[in-house]
Chains A and B, each alone.
Chain A
Amino acid sequence: MKLNTDNHIITIEHLSHAFGGKTVLEDINLTIRKGEFVTILGPSGCGKTTLIRLIAGFLKASEGKISIAGEDMTQTPPHLRPVNTVFQKYALFPHLNVFNNIAFGLQLKKLPQDEIKKKVMQVLKIVTMTDYEERDVDTLSGGQQQRVAIARAIVNEPKVLLLDEPLAALDLKMRKDMQLEIKAMQKKLGISFLYVTHDQEEALTLSDTIVVMSEGVIQQTGTPTEIYNEPSNSFVADFIGESNILNGIMIRDNLVEFAGHQVECVDKGFEPNEPVDVVLRPEDIYIFEMSDAAQFSGLVTSSIFKGVHYEMMVTTPEGYEIIIQDYHCFEAGRTVGLRIKPFDIHVMKKERHCNAFEGSIWDSSHVRFLGHNFKCNDDHGFAAGTKVKVQVDFNNVILQDNEEDGMLGGVVSFILYKGNHYHLTVLTPENEHLFVDSHDIWDDGDQIGISISPESIRIEKL
């Protein structure tokens, strides 16, 4: 155990950060080992940049502790932290040439001139930018500027190199090349890299460990294969790679029902008949001419060539759409059979089964939650002012096109396709999450109206 903690270069404990009354990060716990390549992966606004800025010292933590190389550095100003950052927009000094940009940190340390020169030349070689030392930084291309930015950081031999979406501004081809170079560089230098990105492919390519974040919370930490094969919830499953995520019921150990069929699987430890999420990776589903071996039948509705494989959409007679990737093409209109091997079915516990809010009784026929007084059935039998638990099923929330038509407004913040319906996360004006099952197509960021009928509101004692 002792040995293990010695190996930790960064330890983050119960770190929280709030900005303008809004929680950006909540209870983050994370350790980074010596020489490890850790990627923080998440959609924009998930708090990943905030986390890296807290580690660099540009932001002050509201709560929690950050230790770097065994020392508590939560309150240490950035210039005294043994980390260096590669900024998203490079942030090279326009008044200095390449050499002086890279030498910036060394000059501050008052190193002798010849040593500075030697070190700068060394890193220029590492980033394959030899002979560029006299150039003005604004004469360099994006990729070259990025290399200089990396050189400027690693020349200081930081304990950890922080990279904030360093490749986001480069084109695809350049990005792919730089990914490989960054990985090679990290192996060669042996320092820990903490890499922030929203690109799941980049994360899978580069990392020893991936930290998936959403809404300021760590969703899962694991190796790329763990994250890909064993996503811990539907967010991770949807975010990493393509996947079919369907509602299912765990009949008993090793038997799960989804899309209207009972199928053998290898998961156990669930309650009998527990509702679950089932994840099927498109490449794990076998597709063939309809035969007895099929567990599911279906009609191919579209087939697209993707370079190496074909991506086909199959609709089952029960009305579920399933994405399948295969090297063989089955044209649209053909009837096919599908089969999934037990260990290719990944069953996840559902995070929630219905919406649950804390609310209070307003009067005999109204209950207040989400900052609004909702009409409810008048047989609840609670006195006005009583704190109660309010439950609403996902499919009982009505969404309207016009914000004004709803009892309250909201913004669609996350969409998950469940094969035959969408599972939406709606952000209410009071920043609470409302989960909705809908057959209509909505877009991320849509302003919508929310209504809930009195019969759909279940009230229980808290």
Chain B
Amino acid sequence: MHRRILLFIGRRRNWSIPYVLYLSFFVLVPLLLVVLYAFTSETGGFSLENFRKFLMHPEAMNILIYSIGVAMITTLLCLLLGYPAAYLLSRMETRKARLLVILFILPMWINFLIRTLATVALFGFLRLPLGEGALMFGMVYNFLPFMIYPIYNSLQKTDPNLIEAAQDLGANPRQVFFRTILPLSFPGIASGIIMVFMPVISTFAIAELLTINNIKLFGTTLQENIYNGMWNFGAALALVMLLLVGLTSLLNSGGSVKAAEEGGLI
């Protein structure tokens, strides 16, 4: 008996059993349940009622479009703010840059709800109104590090010989940037975009807290439906969102998984 247990543990493929169980119970089964609920009506039985409801319901549709807009603007702002920061970091002495990168990432060690509540308090202290502006601020503030880090990573990995080669072939500093450094950092940009865009679409707490529940994002609608027991409709919304998130990561730089890998995402 004892021997058999040892033999069982000794086989390397058996080590994956806990992970397979974990993935099945917490990822695969819930996903299947989402799909099942989405295609089931209130009364039970297969139906496309939930999707019809979503498509016919202008409010839900508008919220989705608005959420995509917020996510796009957030991503763009993060990119515009994050790229120069990442570029400057990559040019620094490694030791200094590491310290600064840690400082950039430091806020992430605090729960984002606490950070967002603190932002609300900050806006109150500065007598700034909560609303759309505050929402954008909160989004960018929360997700900026996710943009900086992968871009910094790919910039840092750029072979300095390539920059010298470009100079050698007659590129002035501006041309060196646009013809080598920028294109070589595309993988980092791609990862950054995925890492910002995807969570922004689904987040609801930031919108709720920073707009005093005045602005609803798609995540909010989803959460409200589930919270109010509309399991089937909620599941349909979740499936729509999942599809959207999947599409973004596919569209990003031609669906290049390699790019995301290089950018340090996977």
Q: In the complex, what distance in Å separates the CA atom of A108 from the CA atom of B162? A: 16
Contact across chains for A85 and B165 when beta carbons are under 8 A apart: yes
Q: In the complex, what distance in Å separates the CA atom of A437 from the CA atom of B157? A: 47
Closest A residue by C-beta to B184: A95
Interface string of A84-116 (1 = CB under 8 A from B): 110101011111000000001100110000000
* Residues A93 and B180 in contact in the complex (CB < 8 Å), given A58-B164, A85-B165, A87-B161: yes
- A66 CB-CB contact with B under 8 Å: no
Interface string of A53-77 (1 = CB under 8 A from B): 0001110000000000000000001
A: number of interface residues (CB 8 Å): 24
Q: Which of B172-198 contact A (CB under 8 A)?
A: 172, 175-176, 179-180, 183-184, 186
Q: How many A-B residue pairs have CB under 8 A?
A: 63
Q: In the complex, what distance in Å separates the CA atom of A92 from the CA atom of B184? A: 12
CB distance from A69 to the nearest CB of B (A): 15
* Residues A108 and B164 in contact in the complex (CB < 8 Å), given A94-B184, A95-B183, A95-B184: no
CB distance from A191 to the nearest CB of B (A): 15
CB distance from A402 to the nearest CB of B (A): 34
- B1 CB-CB contact with A under 8 Å: no
Closest B residue by C-beta to A100: B179
CB distance from B176 to the nearest CB of A (A): 8
Contact across chains for B167 and A104 when beta carbons are under 8 A apart: no
Contact across chains for A78 and B168 when beta carbons are under 8 A apart: yes
Q: In the complex, what distance in Å separates the CA atom of A84 from the CA atom of B165? A: 9
Contact across chains for A104 and B183 when beta carbons are under 8 A apart: no
CB distance from B62 to the nearest CB of A (A): 40
Which size class do B's interface residues fall under? 10 to 19
- A152 CB-CB contact with B under 8 Å: yes
Q: In the complex, what distance in Å separates the CA atom of A106 from the CA atom of B3? A: 72
Contact across chains for A93 and B172 when beta carbons are under 8 A apart: no
- B169 CB-CB contact with A under 8 Å: yes
- A156 CB-CB contact with B under 8 Å: yes
CB distance from B262 to the nearest CB of A (A): 10
Q: In the complex, what distance in Å separates the CA atom of A112 from the CA atom of B167? A: 21
Contact across chains for B168 and A56 when beta carbons are under 8 A apart: yes
* Residues A58 and B167 in contact in the complex (CB < 8 Å), given A79-B172, A87-B161, A104-B179: yes
* Residues A93 and B170 in contact in the complex (CB < 8 Å), given A104-B179, A108-B175: no
Contact across chains for B162 and A91 when beta carbons are under 8 A apart: yes
Contact across chains for B167 and A78 when beta carbons are under 8 A apart: yes
Residues on B with beta carbons closer than 8 Å to the beta carbon of A87 = 161, 164-165
- B93 CB-CB contact with A under 8 Å: no
Closest A residue by C-beta to B176: A79
Contact across chains for A108 and B168 when beta carbons are under 8 A apart: no
Contact across chains for B171 and A108 when beta carbons are under 8 A apart: yes
Residues on A with beta carbons closer than 8 Å to the beta carbon of B175 = 79, 108
Q: In the complex, what distance in Å separates the CA atom of A57 from the CA atom of B167? A: 9
Closest A residue by C-beta to B172: A79
Contact of A91 among B165, B176, B179 (CB under 8 A): B165
Closest A residue by C-beta to B185: A95
CB distance from A436 to the nearest CB of B (A): 39
- B166 CB-CB contact with A under 8 Å: yes
* Residues A79 and B161 in contact in the complex (CB < 8 Å), given A93-B180, A95-B184, A108-B175: no
Contact across chains for A79 and B183 when beta carbons are under 8 A apart: no
Residues on A with beta carbons closer than 8 Å to the beta carbon of B161 = 87, 89, 91
* Residues A108 and B170 in contact in the complex (CB < 8 Å), given A91-B159, A93-B180, A95-B184: yes
Q: In the complex, what distance in Å separates the CA atom of A253 from the CA atom of B40? A: 111
Contact across chains for B170 and A156 when beta carbons are under 8 A apart: yes
Q: In the complex, what distance in Å separates the CA atom of A207 from the CA atom of B169? A: 25
Q: In the complex, what distance in Å separates the CA atom of A104 from the CA atom of B162? A: 12
* Residues A85 and B180 in contact in the complex (CB < 8 Å), given A91-B159, A108-B175: no
Q: In the complex, what distance in Å separates the CA atom of A91 from the CA atom of B159? A: 8
Residues on A with beta carbons closer than 8 Å to the beta carbon of B171 = 79, 104, 108
Q: In the complex, what distance in Å separates the CA atom of A87 from the CA atom of B160? A: 12
Q: In the complex, what distance in Å separates the CA atom of A288 from the CA atom of B165? A: 57
Q: In the complex, what distance in Å separates the CA atom of A105 from the CA atom of B159? A: 19
Contact across chains for B172 and A78 when beta carbons are under 8 A apart: no
CB distance from B162 to the nearest CB of A (A): 5
Residues on A with beta carbons closer than 8 Å to the beta carbon of B162 = 91, 93-94
Q: In the complex, what distance in Å separates the CA atom of A156 from the CA atom of B166? A: 13
Residues on B with beta carbons closer than 8 Å to the beta carbon of A80 = 170
Interface centre among B169, B179, B180, by most A CB within 10 Å?
A: B169
CB distance from B115 to the nearest CB of A (A): 37
Q: In the complex, what distance in Å separates the CA atom of A94 from the CA atom of B166? A: 12
Contact across chains for B170 and A79 when beta carbons are under 8 A apart: yes
Closest B residue by C-beta to A80: B170
CB distance from A146 to the nearest CB of B (A): 14
Residues on A with beta carbons closer than 8 Å to the beta carbon of B180 = 93, 95
CB distance from A165 to the nearest CB of B (A): 13
CB distance from B170 to the nearest CB of A (A): 5
CB distance from A145 to the nearest CB of B (A): 13
CB distance from B166 to the nearest CB of A (A): 7
* Residues A78 and B184 in contact in the complex (CB < 8 Å), given A108-B171, A108-B175: no
Residues on B with beta carbons closer than 8 Å to the beta carbon of A79 = 167-172, 175-176
Q: Which of A388-408 contact B (CB under 8 A)?
A: none
Q: In the complex, what distance in Å separates the CA atom of A163 from the CA atom of B167? A: 16
CB distance from A79 to the nearest CB of B (A): 5
Interface centre among A78, A87, A156, by most B CB within 10 Å?
A: A78
* Residues A77 and B167 in contact in the complex (CB < 8 Å), given A91-B159, A91-B162: yes
Q: In the complex, what distance in Å separates the CA atom of A108 from the CA atom of B165? A: 13
Contact across chains for B167 and A108 when beta carbons are under 8 A apart: no
Closest B residue by C-beta to A96: B183
Residues on A with beta carbons closer than 8 Å to the beta carbon of B176 = 79
Residues on B with beta carbons closer than 8 Å to the beta carbon of A105 = 169-170
Closest 10 CB pairs of A and B: A105-B169, A91-B161, A91-B165, A78-B167, A95-B183, A85-B168, A108-B170, A79-B167, A79-B170, A104-B169
* A–B complex contacts, Cβ < 8 Å, 22 sampled: A56-B164, A56-B168, A79-B168, A79-B169, A79-B171, A80-B170, A84-B169, A87-B165, A89-B159, A89-B161, A91-B162, A91-B165, A92-B165, A95-B180, A95-B184, A104-B179, A105-B170, A108-B169, A108-B170, A109-B170, A156-B169, A156-B170
Residues of B within 8 A of A (CB): 159, 161-162, 164-172, 175-176, 179-180, 183-184, 186
Q: Apart from A79-B172, A84-B169, A104-B179, what are 6 other A-B pairs with CB-CB below 8 Å?
A: A85-B168, A87-B161, A87-B164, A89-B161, A91-B161, A91-B165
Residues of A within 8 A of B (CB): 56-58, 77-80, 83-85, 87, 89, 91-95, 104-105, 108-109, 152-153, 156
